[in-house]
């Protein structure tokens, strides 16, 4: 029968499967469809024209051949269309999907400064015991910073080699410890001390000493002061409170050790060691193998300090402690250089500070 | 203070058998922590930390006294050298109460030098033996017994010795070769020629002992601690002697130390004693200090009782008497730190060991106080900013006047905030603003390769006032660099001023704070913490009804001049809209393009309406038309 068909149609028929496969998208397929079975100018249209003009005796056979050809083309096109449509759907689906292992957008994270975070933690630890926070100015009077704390008039700390003074106000200085907050607070609450049933507070804050900046010294650093005034307060209460607080801070198995020491504003005075939180007191570099690290200084409030504030030391007594925040932060974190805390590199802050 | 083990054992034989580690623990329990142990010439040398109040412990004898009291073991008795006093060979006049006793002797030196044992001891103490018997013996004595002595070349002294206040502008060349100009608060030893020693601090060059010295005059006195401290500070002369006299030496040791020194010189170099005598006398013992059982037990936290207290205090050298009120203790002549009953209680606890102190929580006598709103405010804002991705910084409170000036302004002059003795010019003024510090920190971070800096600080800024710098708790935030661009969904863009304005809005600042441009793409805001709105008192605010009917949104794209005020436009449009139905009116897009008429931009204004009923299209159209009319009255045009 093929001899009835023109050569170019036979060739077109032979090229069809390849052309079909070559259609990469529906548009190409549509063009192919037009070329083969379109209403006008297509191979199929030309065949229909051929059929009309064919001799009568050939019409039957020719018709059958044309139909076979057309059917083959139509089926081919239909199948390819379905294929391409499926492929398109798949691609569309893929386009709205992302590999879940791609790095996702992450909400930004900031951080509290590690020193502030440590001070906040201390406040948290003492809150259940009824301590609140007192704050005082960093520019202080000599009276609050020294005299009210039973520090002798000729104490070396008063020298301008140790303490920053204001040029225009020789009586003003940058506080060298948080202890003047004791003096201020006691002076303020003295008249109502009986009514309020004593006082207990923490005073976290920044303090200044005239030290050059190096890996272990800074002219500005932080302390947390703790103070409690009540009736019949003794060393056992200091020990009990610190034991509670330091266990809350370092873990329930923490032990504390008091050693006699001397600070002008307390009597008796002591240094407080805590069993090394880094090695569970087994001995390490931080505790120099001893299992203990010095954590704060403390003692019972010197009667002169109470008397200065107008509080009768025969009736009232109390304890106080002072803790170096940087020292503790460096010990806990093994930070090798104090200056890192004041350099404020975001990488350091992010790693060390965080947010509770 | 260095303590050599074997020398300590000479004073208290009981420690001879103890390990160094045990000894360190005993010392630490007594309040003398050991900073380190080194082995020098085959013996352990302990570096003992001695608090400023315990001048009496700054010697082997002093340390031995403490250990003996703790261990209840005897001290080796001080040797009685049997030096007989006679008539004064040189008149010694004590003209100031700051020197109540002055024991002295004159010896003619023989041959021979410092014995090896003494040299070894001095080397262990990190002191260099001078090989001059009189000098080395004085040093050795000081380190062993804690009492400073001095040897003058007796042949260089002219006439009588006076212990007197210096006259202002008198000079003295001290042993270190420096010429000291004296004041009337300096106590000196003087002869007819003038001052020959700074009392209790350092000898003079003109009378120093040399290899040629044939006769020495020894000084073993007691000088008032406060006077010596002031002199040491005034002349920046901190010597072994000034440390001990400054913290309080033992006046009863004056004669004893003189005798020990005499005996050493006799033994070491065959010196011949020409005469020994003493001017003045040991001052009266302190008056007794009372200690009641109540006070003792209150401090101790348990019923220790006066018997234990008495026994402890006696072990420490106190003379104790009992009376109806409790006990009365006269401290030994070396303990100047014991002055009040609490001091005595501490001694009892210290000897017993602080490890025995019981542990209990103090009872609550009144209601706990709340945290102050100002404190909570700082906590809250710090947490919020950290949640928003900002890093809290801590920077120094003092900065250079130059960087301070642009942020502080003329109303806040630096003069009132300047330090008298800063670490340096760049740390010389208390900052009037936190922004310069944050700017420097931000720039440092960017230089270090940070894509974005988000920093904040909560700290005082200072305002000069006639009464001194006034502190104002301040919050400063800086933000800069590139936002986003670090994942496939967030486009990158530079941080803009508007980001800071948005942040201020998040913090609920009542007024929009000025945004400071601190550098290319770096911005900052600064506000007083007091200006941050306090959170409402109510845990949950009152209920406010909200509509459940659907809301209607309409957009208007308006062409406005490039310098048009958004605030004015927003105000006019809002005024034209029904307040009870207008939920929101805001610009949601700004379009600037060359295709727009020159000098114009397009603002896409979005309105959202909602009411307690279903809104009808026509009425909303009416509102939008009035809003448009209001906008047009300000020069805006509907964008085609």
State ipTM: 0.90
Residues of A in contact with B395 (CB under 8 A): 342, 344
- Cβ partners under 8 Å of residue B59, min gap 6: B1, B142, B143, B144, B145, B146, B147, B244
Q: CB B387 to CB A233 under 8 A? A: no
Same domain, A90 and A120: no
- The string of pLDDT tens digits covering residues B459-514 is 999 999 999 999 999 999 999 999 999 999 899 999 999 999 999 999 988 788 89
Same domain, A61 and A137: no
Q: Which of A95, A122, A152 is the last residue of a domain?
A: A95
User: How would you classify the pairing of strands B92-94 and B2-4?
Assistant: unpaired
Residues of A in contact with B368 (CB under 8 A): 130-132, 200
Q: Model confidence at B355, in pLDDT bands (50, 70, 90)?
A: very high
DSSP one-letter code for B531:
G
- Cβ partners under 8 Å of residue B569, min gap 6: B558, B560, B603, B605, B631, B634, B636
Same domain, A198 and A234: yes
CATH code, residues B92-280 = 3.50.40.10
Position B110 scores a pLDDT of 87
Cα–Cα nearest to B318, from B307, B305, B331: B331
Position A2 scores a pLDDT of 57
A57 is in an annotated binding site: no
Q: CB A267 to CB B375 under 8 A? A: no
Domains: count for chain A: 2
Q: How far is A256 from chain B (nearest CA, A)?
A: 9
Same domain, A54 and A125: no
- pLDDT at position B351 over 70: yes
Query: Which member of A105, A130, A160 has the closest CB to residue B487?
Result: A105
Q: CB A109 to CB B487 under 8 A? A: no
Listed as own residue / partner, the contacts of B562-569 with beta carbons closer than 8 Å and 24 or more positions apart are: B562/B592, B562/B599, B562/B600, B562/B601, B564/B601, B564/B634, B564/B635, B564/B636, B566/B603, B568/B634, B569/B603, B569/B605, B569/B631, B569/B634, B569/B636
CATH code, residues B2-71 = 3.30.56.10
Task: Report the residue of chain B nearest A316, measured CA to CA.
Answer: B298
Q: How far is B182 from chain A (nearest CA, A)?
A: 19
**What residues does CATH 3.30.70.380 cover in chain B?**
552-638
Query: Which member of B226, B365, B393 has the closest CB to residue A344?
Result: B393
Residues of B in contact with A343 (CB under 8 A): 441, 444
Phi, psi dihedrals of residue A230, rounded to the nearest 5°: -160, -165
Q: How far is B583 from chain A (nearest CA, A)?
A: 29
Tell me how many helices (H) and strands (E) chain A has: 13, 9
B304-323 average pLDDT score: 96
Residues of A in contact with B415 (CB under 8 A): 167-168
Position B60 scores a pLDDT of 97
Task: Report the residue of chain B nearest A262, measured CA to CA.
Answer: B51
Same domain, A43 and A134: no
Looking at 3.40.50.300, 3.90.79.10, 3.30.930.10, 3.60.70.12, the CATH number of the domain B373-531 comes to: 3.30.930.10
- Cβ partners under 8 Å of residue B449, min gap 6: none
Q: CB B392 to CB A239 under 8 A? A: no
B551-579 average pLDDT score: 95
- Look up the domain containing A42 and give its range: 2-95
Residues of A in contact with B439 (CB under 8 A): none
**Region for B490 from its dihedrals, namely left if φ exceeds 0, alpha if ψ lies in -120 to 50, beta otherwise:** beta
Q: CB A108 to CB B394 under 8 A? A: no
Position A11 scores a pLDDT of 81
Residues of A in contact with B427 (CB under 8 A): 219
- The string of pLDDT tens digits covering residues B396-453 is 999 999 999 999 888 899 999 999 999 999 999 999 999 999 999 999 999 999 999 9
For chains A and B, what is the number of CB pairs under 8 angstroms?
257
Q: CB B299 to CB A219 under 8 A? A: no
Q: How far is B293 from chain A (nearest CA, A)?
A: 13
Same domain, A141 and A282: yes
Query: Which member of B362, B453, B455 has the closest CB to residue A230?
Result: B362
Position A52 scores a pLDDT of 84
- pLDDT at position B637 over 90: yes
Q: How far is B519 from chain A (nearest CA, A)?
A: 19
- The string of pLDDT tens digits covering residues A177-217 is 999 999 999 999 999 999 999 999 999 999 999 999 999 99
Q: How far is B185 from chain A (nearest CA, A)?
A: 14
B531-539 average pLDDT score: 81
Residues B466 and A166: beta-carbon distance below 8 Å:
no
Q: Model confidence at B284, in pLDDT bands (50, 70, 90)?
A: confident
Residue B302 in tokens: 């348990």
Cα–Cα nearest to A13, from A28, A25, A1, A24: A1
Position B107 scores a pLDDT of 95
Task: Report the residue of chain A nearest B36, measured CA to CA.
Answer: A288
Task: Calculate the CA A284 to chain-centre distance.
Answer: 29
Q: CB A260 to CB B31 under 8 A? A: yes
Interior/surface letters B357-372, b for 16+ CB within 10 angstroms, e for the rest: bebeebeebbeebeee
Q: Establish if A28 belongs to a structural domain.
A: yes
Q: CB B354 to CB A133 under 8 A? A: no
CA neighbours within 13 Å on the CB side: how many for B486? 12
Q: With pLDDT > 90 as the criterion, what percentage of chain B qualifies? A: 90
Instruction: Evaluate the omega torsion of the peptide bond into residue A290 and state whether it is cis, within 30 degrees of 0.
Output: no
Query: Which member of B54, B386, B441 has the closest CB to residue A355?
Result: B386
Same domain, A192 and A336: yes
- The string of pLDDT tens digits covering residues B73-123 is 999 999 888 889 999 999 999 999 999 999 999 999 988 889 999 999 999
Position B396 scores a pLDDT of 97
Residue B547 in tokens: 């509509």
Q: CB B342 to CB A268 under 8 A? A: yes
Q: Model confidence at B42, in pLDDT bands (50, 70, 90)?
A: confident
Low-confidence ranges of chain A (pLDDT < 50): none
Q: Establish if A107 belongs to a structural domain.
A: no
**What residues does CATH 3.30.56.10 cover in chain B?**
2-71, 289-352
Position A3 scores a pLDDT of 64
Q: How far is B84 from chain A (nearest CA, A)?
A: 40
CA angle, B72 then B73 then B77, to 5° = 130
Neighbour count for residue B234 (Cβ, 10 Å): 15
Query: Which member of B362, B455, B490 has the closest CB to residue A228?
Result: B362
Q: How far is B503 from chain A (nearest CA, A)?
A: 14
Cα–Cα nearest to B412, from B426, B431, B397, B436: B431
Q: Establish if A104 belongs to a structural domain.
A: no
d(CA A247, CA A162): 35
Same domain, A188 and A312: yes
**What residues does CATH 3.30.930.10 cover in chain B?**
373-531
CATH number at residue A215: 3.30.930.10
Q: CB A231 to CB B365 under 8 A? A: yes
Residues of B in contact with A131 (CB under 8 A): 368
Task: Report the residue of chain A nearest B294, measured CA to CA.
Answer: A232
Q: Establish if A131 belongs to a structural domain.
A: yes
Q: CB A303 to CB B453 under 8 A? A: no
Q: Establish if A43 belongs to a structural domain.
A: yes
Position B195 scores a pLDDT of 96
Residues B398 and A123: beta-carbon distance below 8 Å:
no
- What CATH class is the domain B289-352? alpha beta
Position A70 scores a pLDDT of 86
Same domain, A48 and A164: no
Task: Report the residue of chain B nearest A230, measured CA to CA.
Answer: B365
Task: Report the residue of chain A nearest B230, measured CA to CA.
Answer: A154
Q: How far is B117 from chain A (nearest CA, A)?
A: 33
Residues of A in contact with B337 (CB under 8 A): 262
Q: Which of A47, A67, A95 is the last residue of a domain?
A: A95
Q: Which of A95, A127, A159 is the last residue of a domain?
A: A95
Q: CB A260 to CB B29 under 8 A? A: yes
Helix (H) or strand (E) holding A327: helix A325-333
Q: Establish if A48 belongs to a structural domain.
A: yes
Q: CB A342 to CB B395 under 8 A? A: yes
Which one of B50, B232, B236, B342 would you mutate to disrupt binding with A, by most A Cβ within 10 Å of its Cβ?
A: B342
Q: CB B367 to CB A197 under 8 A? A: yes
Same domain, A194 and A288: yes
Q: Establish if A297 belongs to a structural domain.
A: yes
Q: Which CATH superfamily is domain B552-638 in?
A: Ferrodoxin-fold anticodon-binding domain (3.30.70.380)
Q: CB A231 to CB B230 under 8 A? A: no
Task: Calculate the CA B394 to chain-centre distance.
Answer: 17
Same domain, A173 and A259: yes
């Amino acid at each position: 029968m093929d001899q009835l068909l023109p050569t170019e149609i036979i060739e077109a028929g032979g090229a069809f499967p390849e052309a079909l496969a070559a259609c990469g998208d529906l548009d190409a397929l549509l063009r192919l469809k037009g070329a083969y079975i379109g209403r006008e100018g297509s191979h199929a249209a030309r065949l229909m024209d051929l059929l009309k003009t064919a001799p009568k005796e050939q019409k039957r056979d020719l018709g059958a051949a044309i139909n076979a050809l057309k059917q083959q083309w139509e089926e081919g096109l239909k199948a390819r269309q379905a294929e391409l449509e499926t492929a398109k759907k798949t691609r569309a689906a893929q386009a709205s999907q992302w590999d879940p292992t791609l790095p996702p957008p992450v909400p930004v994270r900031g951080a509290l400064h590690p020193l502030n975070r440590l001070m906040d933690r201390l406040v948290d630890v003492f809150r259940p015991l009824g301590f609140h926070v007192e704050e005082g100015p960093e520019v202080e009077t000599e009276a609050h910073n020294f005299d009210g704390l039973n520090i002798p008039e000729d104490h070396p700390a008063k020298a301008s080699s140790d303490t920053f003074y204001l040029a225009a106000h020789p009586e003003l200085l940058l506080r060298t410890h948080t202890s003047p907050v004791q003096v201020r607070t006691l002076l303020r609450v003295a008249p109502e001390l009986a009514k309020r049933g004593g006082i207990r507070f923490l005073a976290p804050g920044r303090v200044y000493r005239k030290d050059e900046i190096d890996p272990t010294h800074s002219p500005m650093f932080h302390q947390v002061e703790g103070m409690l005034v009540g009736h019949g307060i003794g060393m056992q209460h200091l020990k009990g409170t610190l034991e509670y607080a330091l266990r809350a801070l370092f873990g329930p198995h923490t032990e504390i050790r008091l050693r006699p020491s001397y600070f002008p504003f307390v009597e008796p005075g002591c240094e407080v060691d805590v069993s090394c939180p880094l090695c569970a007191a087994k001995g390490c570099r931080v505790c120099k193998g001893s299992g203990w690290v010095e954590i704060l200084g403390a003692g019972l409030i010197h009667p002169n300090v109470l008397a200065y504030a107008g509080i009768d030391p025969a009736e009232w007594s109390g304890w106080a402690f002072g803790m170096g925040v940087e020292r503790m932060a460096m010990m806990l974190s093994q930070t090798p250089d104090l200056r890192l805390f004041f350099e404020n590199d975001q990488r350091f802050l992010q790693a060390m500070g965080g947010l509770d | 203070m260095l303590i050599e083990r074997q020398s300590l054992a000479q004073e208290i034989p009981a420690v001879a058998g103890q390990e160094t580690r045990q000894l360190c623990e005993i010392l630490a329990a007594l309040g003398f922590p050991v900073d380190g142990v080194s082995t020098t010439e085959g013996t352990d040398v302990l570096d003992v930390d001695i608090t400023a109040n315990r001048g009496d412990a700054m010697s082997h004898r002093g340390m031995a006294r403490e250990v003996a009291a703790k261990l209840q073991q005897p001290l080796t008795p001080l040797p009685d050298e049997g030096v007989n006093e006679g008539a004064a060979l040189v008149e010694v006049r004590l003209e100031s109460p700051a020197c109540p006793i002055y024991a002295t002797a004159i010896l003619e030196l023989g041959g021979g030098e410092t014995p090896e044992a003494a040299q070894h001891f001095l080397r262990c103490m990190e002191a260099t033996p001078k090989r001059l018997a009189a000098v080395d013996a004085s040093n050795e004595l000081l380190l062993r017994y804690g009492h400073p002595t001095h040897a003058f070349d007796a042949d260089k002294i002219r006439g009588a010795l006076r212990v007197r206040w210096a006259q202002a502008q008198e000079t003295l060349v001290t042993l270190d070769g420096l010429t000291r100009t004296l004041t009337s608060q300096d106590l000196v030893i003087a002869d007819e020629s003038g001052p020959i020693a700074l009392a209790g601090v350092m000898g003079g060059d003109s009378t120093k002992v040399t290899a040629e010295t044939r006769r020495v005059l020894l000084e073993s006195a007691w000088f008032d601690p406060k006077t010596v401290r002031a002199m040491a500070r005034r002349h920046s002369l901190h010597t072994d002697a000034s440390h001990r006299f400054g913290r309080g030496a033992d006046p009863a040791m004056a004669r004893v130390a003189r005798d020990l020194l005499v005996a050493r010189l006799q033994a070491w170099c065959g010196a011949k004693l020409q005469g020994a005598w003493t001017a003045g006398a040991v001052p009266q013992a302190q008056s007794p200090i009372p200690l009641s059982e109540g006070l003792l037990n209150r401090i101790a936290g348990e019923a220790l009782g006066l018997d234990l207290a008495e026994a402890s205090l006696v072990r420490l050298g106190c003379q104790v008497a009992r009376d109806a009120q409790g006990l009365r203790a006269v401290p030994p002549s070396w303990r100047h730190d014991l002055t009040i009953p609490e001091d005595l209680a501490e001694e009892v606890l210290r000897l017993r060991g602080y490890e025995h102190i019981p542990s209990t929580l103090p009872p609550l006598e009144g209601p706990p106080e709340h945290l102050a709103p100002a404190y909570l405010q700082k906590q809250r804002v710090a947490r919020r900013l950290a949640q928003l991705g900002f890093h809290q910084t801590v920077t120094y409170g003092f900065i250079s006047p130059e960087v301070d000036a642009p942020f502080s302004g003329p109303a806040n002059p630096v003069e009132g905030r300047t330090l008298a003795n800063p670490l340096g010019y760049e740390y010389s003024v208390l900052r009037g603003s936190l922004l310069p510090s944050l700017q420097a920190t931000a720039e440092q971070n960017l230089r270090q390769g940070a894509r974005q800096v988000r920093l904040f600080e909560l700290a005082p800024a200072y305002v000069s006032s006639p009464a001194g710098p006034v502190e104002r708790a301040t919050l400063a935030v800086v933000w800069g660099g590139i936002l986003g661009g670090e994942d496939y969904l967030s486009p990158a863009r530079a941080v803009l001023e508007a980001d800071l304005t948005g942040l201020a809005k998040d913090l609920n600042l009542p007024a929009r704070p000025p945004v400071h441009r601190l550098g290319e793409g770096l911005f900052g805001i600064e506000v007083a913490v007091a200006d941050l709105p306090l959170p409402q008192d109510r845990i949950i605010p009152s209920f406010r009804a909200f509509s459940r009917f659907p809301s209607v949104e309409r957009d208007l794209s308006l062409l406005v001049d490039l310098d048009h005020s958004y605030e004015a436009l927003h105000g006019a449009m809002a005024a034209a809209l029904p307040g009870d139905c207008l939920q929101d009116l805001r610009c949601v897009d700004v379009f600037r393009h060359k295709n727009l008429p020159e000098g114009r931009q397009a603002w896409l204004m979005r309105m959202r309406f909602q009411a307690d009923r279903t809104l009808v299209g026509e009425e909303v159209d009416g509102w939008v038309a009035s809003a448009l009319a209001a906008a047009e009255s300000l020069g805006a045009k509907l964008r085609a």
